[in-house]
């Protein structure tokens, strides 16, 4: 579909710049004034100079408070917060020990990071925001939609923490993904009453509540496919990571006969580990022979526009298509057809929501920074200034590459995200910057020859080469290939369908693309310190199995598992290499 033309400003007029500066100041004060009384702000060594400056200042008006923040609060990473968060995992956990830890009161839940890098899990406290913000797109786990939405929702949580309160009662707090926490927050669902909701439908969704509690990976996808195929009125498909939709389609294809037979007869298939969830699902699922006949005539996924034949009212697909998910875009667009509008859900992380989709640009890659959950400052990644030279929004330059730094409603102080974004320009209505994600700042493999290709360079090279020479990529990851010297980028790729007859040409094209994209790599090659990348193809279903393994190993939700562009986990590196079926 055609995209609207962007109307971004290349620079900020003086009046708009001042208005934006004032708006940022108000938002920043809204966060740091109450959070400055938190345990973290009062005890963290990193904020010692901030506390000292506050104590020595008799006049504490807003202007002076902001000056002290900007002058004395350094940038931070996760380590300063770790010992404070650990107090929630103590047994027993007393309210007095964790109250007002990062923000006033007790958190609603603890959000888990997705651990893409293979490092230990990070958790972030999430407090209940002001009630009027619960309807903001950043907090909406189930955005409104005409018709029904296909958006498989898991309520799987890692664990439940019990806080012993001062009044003799106890409070249970879940440790879960951000999307699950926001869903529970929006619906006011506590874990104590989960079993009482098994007969409910998630509002406007194709899946009943009971499916969100299914723990088996295969059962989760099969049951979501069953109820989604039965519902002809789907208007929106939403998968947080777009490439998970490819897995969903693969389950439909593999289980097509079973699914159609179940729809015709109104039965829940014999999938594993349903237990007490089977009865409510059987109660909600009715036979539909007409729909079964219609689906049989359409057939399983494969033809272009299959999705709009199954769901004639489908108009929109929402999902992240950047990073490793970019490899799945051709298959997704083939299944959806040209009439379905695609967009990203926004830009942020477990740390905080930074930006929402900018529909006046490319809704898959362009995001408008908002001042709702965080105040975002920036580090110029190409600057020679010290890392503490933090830029405010109104100081940015169109075309500049920056690392976002977050001060959040939930108590993070100048937290470095580690991403690199580009500023596309400024929204004319309010001056807020429109950004696009580029790559992780330290996301590449530093090879023996000392160069690092970025995630986006590595991704673009293999996606382009595969589309031309290998076939449709289902997923990929990259490891350091040290079987020869010097070490090089070792692509591990899973494709769908047959291998192209000239697949080996993909190695040369990938190499040429990296040479063109990265000056350091090109120099290292001509000096004999680098060699061509390698490409090895994996067995069918490898990445589906990987996601299942990650779910079981980390107890995070199915929807949160993402595949790293660069794999650092040594155990999973060997796991992938055992599944190589051919090398190009």
Burial 424-440 (b: 16+ CB within 10 A, else e): bbbbeeebbbbbbbbbb
Q: Give yes or no for a contact between 132 and 578, defined as CB atoms under 8 angstroms apart.
A: no
Same domain, 339 and 485: no
d(CA 199, CA 423): 47
In a domain, 214, yes or no: yes
Write down the pLDDT at residue 2: 43
Mean pLDDT per 10-residue segment, the chain (584 residues): 65 93 95 95 96 84 92 94 96 94 95 63 91 80 78 82 91 88 84 83 86 85 95 92 86 94 94 86 94 96 94 93 77 92 89 91 91 94 76 94 95 93 94 90 63 80 88 87 86 88 90 87 80 92 84 64 80 91 91
Residue where the block lists tokens 């290349």: 10
State CA 407 to chain mean position distance.
19
In a domain, 76, yes or no: no
Residue finishing a domain among 318, 343, 368: 343
Q: What is the pTM of this model?
A: 0.83
Same domain, 337 and 460: no
In a domain, 173, yes or no: yes
Longest dimension (CA), the chain: 78
Strands (E), 344-428: 347-349, 352-357, 367-369, 374-380, 401-408, 415-416, 419-426
Residue where the block lists tokens 């290499």: 577
- The DSSP element (H or E) to which 20 belongs, if any, is helix 14-35
In a domain, 281, yes or no: yes
The rounded percent of the chain whose pLDDT value lies above 90 is 51
User: Which residues make beta-bridge pairs with 261?
Assistant: none
d(CA 176, CA 363): 28
Write down the pLDDT at residue 119: 54
Q: How many CB atoms lie within 10 A of CB 106?
A: 18
Write down the pLDDT at residue 162: 93
d(CA 489, CA 506): 14
Same domain, 467 and 323: no
Same domain, 139 and 274: yes
Classify the C-alpha dihedral 343-460-403-15 as positive or negative: negative
Same domain, 332 and 203: yes
User: Which residues make beta-bridge pairs with 241?
Assistant: 320
State CA 177 to chain mean position distance.
10
Write down the pLDDT at residue 115: 52
Same domain, 336 and 459: no
Residue where the block lists tokens 């859900």: 345
Please count the helices (runs of H) and the strands (runs of E) in the chain.
19, 21
Residue finishing a domain among 290, 310, 343: 343
Same domain, 137 and 271: yes
Range of the domain at 578: 455-583
Domain count of the fold of the chain: 2
User: Which residues make beta-bridge pairs with 9?
Assistant: 426
Same domain, 328 and 469: no
Structure tokens at 569: 């986990």
d(CA 195, CA 147): 27
Write down the pLDDT at residue 496: 82
Write down the pLDDT at residue 3: 44
Beta strand 347-349 with 341-343 is unpaired
d(CA 212, CA 215): 8
3-class DSSP assignment, residue 172: strand
Tell me the CA distances in angstroms from 327 to 459, 534, 547, one per residue in order.
8, 17, 16
Write down the pLDDT at residue 197: 84
Q: Give yes or no for a contact between 35 and 414, defined as CB atoms under 8 angstroms apart.
A: no
In a domain, 351, yes or no: no
Write down the pLDDT at residue 263: 96
Write down the pLDDT at residue 213: 83
In a domain, 9, yes or no: no
d(CA 114, CA 94): 28
In a domain, 571, yes or no: yes
Residue finishing a domain among 343, 360, 381: 343
Write down the pLDDT at residue 1: 42
In a domain, 279, yes or no: yes
Query: How many residues does the structure list for the chain?
Result: 584
């Amino acid at each position: 579909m055609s995209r609207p033309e962007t109307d971004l400003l290349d620079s900020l007029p003086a009046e708009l710049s001042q208005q934006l500066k004032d708006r940022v100041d108000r938002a920043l004060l809204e966060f740091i004034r109450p959070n400055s009384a938190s345990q973290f702000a009062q005890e963290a060594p990193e904020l010692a100079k901030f506390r000292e400056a506050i104590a020595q200042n008799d006049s504490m008006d807003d202007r002076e408070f902001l000056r002290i923040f900007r002058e004395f609060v350094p940038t931070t990473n996760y380590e300063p917060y770790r010992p404070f968060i650990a107090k929630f995992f103590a047994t027993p956990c007393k309210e007095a020990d964790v109250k007002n830890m990062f923000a006033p009161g007790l958190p609603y839940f603890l959000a888990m990071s997705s651990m893409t890098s293979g490092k230990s899990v990070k958790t972030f406290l999430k407090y209940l925001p002001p009630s009027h913000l619960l309807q903001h797109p950043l907090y909406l786990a189930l955005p409104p939609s005409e018709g029904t939405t296909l958006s498989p929702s898991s309520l799987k949580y890692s664990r439940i923490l019990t806080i012993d309160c001062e009044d003799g009662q106890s409070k249970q707090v879940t440790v879960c993904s951000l999307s699950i926490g926001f869903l529970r927050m929006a619906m006011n669902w506590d874990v104590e009453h989960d079993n009482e909701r098994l007969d409910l439908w998630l509002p406007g969704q194709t899946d009943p509540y009971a499916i969100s509690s299914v723990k088996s990976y295969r059962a989760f996808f099969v049951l979501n496919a069953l109820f989604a195929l039965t519902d002809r009125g789907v208007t929106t498909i939403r998968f947080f990571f777009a490439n998970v939709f490819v897995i969903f389609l693969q389950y439909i294809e593999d289980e097509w006969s079973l699914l159609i037979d179940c729809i015709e007869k109104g039965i829940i298939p014999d999938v594993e580990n349903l237990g007490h969830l089977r009865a409510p699902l059987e109660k909600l699922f009715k036979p539909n022979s007409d729909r079964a006949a219609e689906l049989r005539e359409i057939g399983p996924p494969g033809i272009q526009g299959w999705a709009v034949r199954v769901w004639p009212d489908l108009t929109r697909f929402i999902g992240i298509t950047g990073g490793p998910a970019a490899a799945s875009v051709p298959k997704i667009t083939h299944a959806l057809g040209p009439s379905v509008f695609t967009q990203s859900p926004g830009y942020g992380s477990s740390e905080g929501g930074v930006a929402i989709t900018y529909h006046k640009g490319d809704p898959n890659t362009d995001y408008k920074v908002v001042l709702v959950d965080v105040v975002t400052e920036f580090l110029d990644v190409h600057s020679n200034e010290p890392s503490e030279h933090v830029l405010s929004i109104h100081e940015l330059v169109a075309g500049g590459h920056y690392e976002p730094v977050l001060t959040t409603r939930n108590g993070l102080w100048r937290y470095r995200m580690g991403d690199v974004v580009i500023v596309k320009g400024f929204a004319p209505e309010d001056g807020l910057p429109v950004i696009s994600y580029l790559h992780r700042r330290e996301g590449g493999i530093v090879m023996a020859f000392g160069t690092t290709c970025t995630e986006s360079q590595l991704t673009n090279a293999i996606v382009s080469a595969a589309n031309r020479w290998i076939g449709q990529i289902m997923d990929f990851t990259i490891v350091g290939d040290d079987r020869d010297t010097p070490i090089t980028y070792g692509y591990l790729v899973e494709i769908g369908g047959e291998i192209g007859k000239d697949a080996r040409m993909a190695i040369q094209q990938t190499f040429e693309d990296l040479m063109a994209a990265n000056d350091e790599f090109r120099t290292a090659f001509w000096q004999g310190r680098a060699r061509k990348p390698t490409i090895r193809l994996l067995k069918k279903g490898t990445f589906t199995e990987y996601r299942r393994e990650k779910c079981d190993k980390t107890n995070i939700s199915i929807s949160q598992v993402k595949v790293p562009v660069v794999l650092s986990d040594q155990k999973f590196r060997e796991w992938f290499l055992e599944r190589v079926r051919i090398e190009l």
